[in-house]
Each structure stands twice: as structure tokens, then as C-alpha cells.
Amino acid sequence: MPLPTAELPYVRLTYRPDLRILFMRWTRLVSSQEHKTGYMQGLNFAREHQVGHWLVDLRTRGLAETEDFKWVLQEFWPQMQQALPGTSFRIAYLVTPYHQELINSRLIAEDKMFRSFIEEKDAYQWLGAPMATIS
């Protein structure tokens, strides 16, 4: 059975029901508008599958500009909470070692819901996926 997916030219969304994780894999650098559109597409996809645990892969795209990252925290995050009431939320950012220190400095006050990782396995553990099903 194929996994539920949605795709834009710059981001691929996949829902893994066995892990209860939405995978958001950016495939290239994006503009500010594409950044927002990608996250809103992700929210629509998450609402459809009632999933609040996301793995956002930024390794190909790199980090968002400061203003776009503020948008995620200040505007997108409340929309996500409103769209999925009663849902547990965690967003794991998968980044390169080069970007981890910078993203961590941006996430200091948000560490309960957002974390950055270099290894996918560590992100899965934090998101609560059972390790036996991860290969």
C-alpha cells in the first residue's frame, strides 16, 4: 500500500502511519513565499491525517531566513495548534552539522515543541517512533 504523499516542486510531504510522523523534505532553496506555501501545504496534509509530529528535513534547503523562521514560530505555530486541537505537537528539524548551532540558538525558548537533529534515528526517538520499525 503506497504511503500518503503530496508534492510541490520544492517540498515533498509523506505521512508514515506506522510511525505517526509527517515527513517534510525540502528539495531545494526556496523563496519566502515558497517557504510559507510549503508549511501551509504541510498543515493541510497534517490536518488530513491528524498528525502533530513532523520531521522537517532542511539538509538540502538550508535554514530559513530569520523573518521566515519567526513566521513559523509566531504565525504558523498558532495556526497549527488551532487546526489540530487536542493533538500532541513536536517538530524535529533535520539539519547539517554546520547549521545546528544556529538553529538551536533560534529554538532556545521553543525547546519543548521544536528540536534539531543531525541524525534521523535521533529525531525518530524524540518524536516517539518505535525504534523496532525503523530501518
Q: What is the pLDDT of residue 10?
A: 96
In the block, cell 541524525 appears at 119
Q: What is the pLDDT of residue 54?
A: 95
Q: What is the pLDDT of residue 134?
A: 42
Q: What is the pLDDT of residue 132?
A: 43
**Rg of the chain over all Cα atoms, to the nearest angstrom:** 14
Show the low-confidence residues of the chain (pLDDT under 70).
1, 108-111, 129-135
**DSSP-assigned beta bridge partners for residue 3:** none
